[in-house]
C-alpha cells in the first residue's frame, strides 16, 4: 500500500494536519495495511476540530471503501463498507421505503465516522443514537480482525470511541421503514426561550429540530423556528441547484449587523401562523450540503462550533449559556436547539437526556475565549460537550463530563497497547492517559 504526503483539516478548518495518507480501495488492501502499518482511520473529515487529524503521522482514508454489500427490505437491515456516505445510503434506500435510522446534519459523513462518533439526529428523542442501530461490525484492530456485536466491552469502546480500537471495515445496520422519499415538514415561529423548550418537550413528531436566533436578546432571547417532520409519499419537488462558495469570505460577511439582519429575515420567512411544506429527504436532513464548501464563509482562519448537552433540570444553565452567546455579538446564523432522549451506545457517546445547543463562531481570539467560558458553564451544569465538534477543551474537563472514560480506556489499551490509533484530539485531551 502506498502512502502519500498530504495536508488536510477538519470541517472547521481552524486546525490542520500534515502527514501520510493511504486510500485503500479493497478490503484485502486495508487488512494488509493494518497488519503491516496500523494507523487511525478518517472518513469524510466532517468532524469539526481535530478528531480526524494525526499531524506528523499516518491516517487511512476509507472513502473509497464505499460498497453497499446487501439490503434486506423484509428484515430492514443493510450491510455496508464503512466508507459509504449517509447521503448516498439515503438516496439508495428511500425509494425502497427504507431510511437510515439516524441521520446527522450532513450526508457527507461516512458510516464508519457515524459509528466512531455515535452521531445523533433530529429523531434522537425517539430513535436514540446511530450506534444503537448497529447490529454488528467488522473491526480491524492492530491485533487482527474481530467481529463485534452489541453488549460487548469492545462494542462500547468502539461506538463513539473516536476510532481508538481500530478501523471499522464493514457494518450491518438496522434501518427504518418509511412512507416514501419525501418529507412533510411543519414550520412555526417560536417567540422565546420558555416557549421553545415547551414546544420541544411537547412535540410528538418523528423528527424535530429548532433553529435559534443566537443574536436575539431580552424578551426575544431564544426565539426561532421549530421544524417537525414526517416521511411521506407523493410528488418529489425538483432538487435545488447546488451552489458552492468559491473563495474564503472576508470577516465582514459575518459581522454582527449582517448576522442580525440575516437572522431577522430567516425568522420572518415563516408566516406567523406557520406553514407545512414538502421537501426532498436530502434537503430536509442535509440542508447545507447543497452549498459546497460552505465552511469557507468563515474565512481562511476557519471556525469553531460549540455544542453541548445539559440535563433537563439544567435548562436554566443552558439559557444562561445562550445569553452569553447572544450578548457576545460573535454568533453566526447557524445555531440549533434540540431535545435529546437518553439513548447512547458507547462509553464516550455524547447524548444524554436533556437539551443540546450548537452554535458556530468565526475563529477569532474573542470566540476562543467565549467558548472556553461556555465549556466551563457546561461542566458546572453537569453536561458535556460533543467531541466531534470540539477543538478547544481541556482533558480534565472532558474526563469529568464522560464518567465512563475509565472503562473506555481499559478496553482501548487492551486492543491497542502501542497507541497506534492515537489522533490529535486524543493527544490534546490526554484521553489515552489515566486520570
Residues 34-88: tens digit of each pLDDT: 999 999 999 999 999 999 999 999 999 999 999 999 999 999 999 999 999 999 9
Which residues are paired to 174 by β-bridges? 77
Predicted local confidence at residue 238, as pLDDT: 75
User: pLDDT band at residue 398, thresholds of 50, 70 and 90?
Assistant: very high
- Are residues 187 and 88 both part of a single domain? no
Domain match, 378 and 249 both: yes
Residue 435 pLDDT: 63
- In whole numbers, what is the pLDDT of the chain averaged over residues? 96
Q: Evaluate whether residue 435 is within a structural domain.
A: no
Is the domain of 161 the same as that of 257? no
Average pLDDT over residues 340-347: 97
What is the rounded average pLDDT of the residues 358-383?
97
Identify the pLDDT of residue 1. Answer: 59
- Is the per-residue pLDDT at 304 higher than 90? yes
Does residue 434 form part of some domain? no
**What is the spatial distance between Cα 196 and Cα 105, in angstroms, rounded to a whole number?**
20
Instruction: For residue 49, give its domain range.
Output: 4-61
The gap from C-alpha 19 to its chain's centroid, in whole angstroms, comes to 24
Q: Is the pTM value of this prediction over 0.95?
A: yes
Tell me what the mean pLDDT of segment 7-30 comes to.
Answer: 97
Residues 316 and 271 reside in one and the same domain: yes
pLDDT for 234 equals 78
* Residue 348 and residue 200 in one domain: yes
Residue 434's pLDDT band, with cuts at 50, 70 and 90, is confident
Do both 76 and 133 map to the same domain? yes
Whether the per-residue pLDDT at 235 is higher than 80: the answer is: no
Residue range 132-151, pLDDT digits in tens:
999 999 999 999 999 999 99
Give the pairing type, strands 144-148 and 224-232.
unpaired
240 & 302 share domain: yes
Count the neighbouring beta carbons within 10 Å of the beta carbon of residue 292.
Answer: 14
pLDDT digits (tens, 9 = 90+) for 118-130: 999 999 999 999 9
Domain identity same for 262 and 378 = yes
pLDDT at 105 over 90: yes
Q: Say what the pLDDT of residue 181 is.
A: 85
Question: Is the pLDDT confidence value at 239 over 80?
Answer: no
Within-domain flag for 274: yes
Phi/psi at 318 (nearest 5 deg)? -65, -35
Q: Which of 39-43, 165-169, 250-254, 380-384 has the lowest mean pLDDT?
A: 250-254
51 by DSSP, 3-state: which? coil
Residue pLDDT, tens place only, 270-291:
999 999 999 999 999 999 999 9
- CA 210 remoteness from chain centre: 16
Residue 237 has pLDDT above 80, yes or no: no
pLDDT for res 180:
85
pLDDT above 70 for 158? yes
DSSP annotation of 321: H
Output the CA–CA distances (angstroms, integers) from residue 91 to 37, 174, 281, in the order listed.
35, 16, 8
For residues 343 and 242, membership in a common domain is answered with yes
Is the predicted pLDDT of residue 306 greater than 70, yes or no? yes
What total number of domains does the chain contain? 3
Phi-psi region of 118 (alpha: psi -120 to 50; beta: other; left: phi over 0): left
Q: Is it the case that residue 360 has pLDDT exceeding 70? A: yes
394 or 236, higher pLDDT: 394
Residue 99 lies in a domain: yes
Integer Cα distance of 242 and 262 in angstroms? 21
- 11, part of any domain: yes
Mean pLDDT for 163-180 is: 96
**What's the N-to-C CA distance of the chain in angstroms?**
37
- Mean pLDDT for 306-330 is 98
Q: Confirm whether 211 is domain-assigned.
A: yes
Is it the case that residue 361 has pLDDT exceeding 90? yes
CA diameter of the chain: 62
With cut-offs at 50, 70 and 90, classify the pLDDT of residue 2: confident
Number of Cβ within a 10 Å radius of residue 221:
21
Confidence of residue 432 (pLDDT cuts 50, 70, 90): very high
Name the nearest CA neighbour of 155 among 174, 175, 173, 139: 139
Q: What is the rounded distance in angstroms from the CA atom of residue 104 to the CA atom of residue 288?
A: 12
CATH number of the domain encompassing residue 169: 3.30.465.10
Say whether both 288 and 246 belong to one domain.
yes
pLDDT of residue 246 exceeding 90, the answer is no
Interval 140-165 mean pLDDT: 98
Percentage of residues in the chain with pLDDT exceeding 70? 99
Same domain, 287 and 323: yes
Confidence class for position 257, pLDDT limits 50, 70, 90:
very high
Amino acid at each position: 500500500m502506498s502512502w502519500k504526503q498530504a495536508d488536510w483539516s477538519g470541517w472547521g478548518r481552524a486546525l490542520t494536519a500534515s502527514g501520510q495518507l493511504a486510500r485503500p480501495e479493497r478490503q484485502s488492501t486495508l487488512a494488509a495495511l493494518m497488519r503491516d502499518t496500523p494507523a487511525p482511520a478518517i472518513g469524510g473529515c466532517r468532524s469539526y476540530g481535530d478528531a480526524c487529524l494525526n499531524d506528523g503521522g499516518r491516517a487511512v482514508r476509507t472513502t473509497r471503501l464505499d460498497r453497499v454489500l446487501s439490503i434486506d427490505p423484509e428484515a430492514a437491515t443493510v450491510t455496508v463498507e464503512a466508507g459509504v456516505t449517509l447521503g448516498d445510503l439515503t438516496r439508495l434506500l428511500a425509494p425502497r421505503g427504507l431510511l437510515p435510522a439516524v441521520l446527522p446534519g450532513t450526508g457527507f459523513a461516512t458510516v464508519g465516522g457515524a459509528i466512531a462518533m455515535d452521531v445523533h439526529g433530529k429523531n434522537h428523542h425517539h430513535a436514540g443514537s446511530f450506534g444503537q442501530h448497529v447490529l454488528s461490525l467488522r473491526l480491524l484492530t492492530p491485533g487482527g480482525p474481530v467481529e463485534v456485536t452489541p453488549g460487548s466491552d469492545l462494542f462500547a469502546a468502539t461506538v463513539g470511541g473516536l476510532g481508538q480500537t481500530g478501523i471499522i471495515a464493514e457494518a450491518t445496520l438496522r434501518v427504518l421503514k418509511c412512507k416514501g422519499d419525501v418529507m412533510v415538514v411543519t414550520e412555526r415561529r417560536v417567540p422565546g426561550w420558555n416557549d421553545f423548550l415547551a414546544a420541544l418537550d411537547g412535540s410528538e413528531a418523528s423528527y424535530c429540530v429548532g433553529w435559534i436566533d443566537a443574536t436575539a436578546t431580552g424578551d426575544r432571547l431564544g426565539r426561532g423556528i421549530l421544524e417537525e417532520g414526517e416521511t411521506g409519499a407523493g410528488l418529489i419537488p425538483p432538487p435545488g441547484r447546488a451552489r458552492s462558495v468559491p473563495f474564503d469570505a472576508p470577516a465582514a460577511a459575518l459581522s454582527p449587523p449582517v448576522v442580525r439582519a440575516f437572522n431577522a429575515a430567516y425568522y420572518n420567512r415563516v408566516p406567523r401562523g406557520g406553514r407545512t411544506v414538502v421537501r426532498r429527504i436530502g434537503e430536509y436532513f442535509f440542508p447545507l450540503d447543497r452549498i459546497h464548501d460552505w465552511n469557507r464563509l468563515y474565512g481562511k482562519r476557519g471556525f469553531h462550533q460549540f455544542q453541548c448537552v445539559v440535563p433537563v433540570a439544567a435548562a436554566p444553565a443552558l439559557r444562561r449559556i445562550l445569553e452569553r452567546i447572544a450578548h457576545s455579538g460573535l454568533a453566526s446564523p447557524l445555531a440549533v436547539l434540540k431535545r435529546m432522549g437518553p439513548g447512547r451506545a458507547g462509553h464516550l457517546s455524547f447524548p444524554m437526556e436533556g437539551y443540546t445547543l450548537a452554535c458556530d463562531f468565526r475563529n477569532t481570539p474573542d470566540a476562543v475565549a467565549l467558548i472556553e467560558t461556555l465549556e466551563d458553564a457546561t461542566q458546572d451544569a453537569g453536561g458535556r460537550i460533543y467531541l466531534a465538534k470540539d477543538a478547544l477543551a481541556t482533558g480534565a474537563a472532558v474526563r469529568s463530563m464522560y464518567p465512563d472514560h475509565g472503562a473506555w480506556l481499559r478496553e482501548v489499551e487492551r486492543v491497542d497497547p502501542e497507541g497506534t490509533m492515537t489522533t490529535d484530539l486524543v493527544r490534546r485531551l490526554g484521553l489515552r492517559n489515566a486520570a
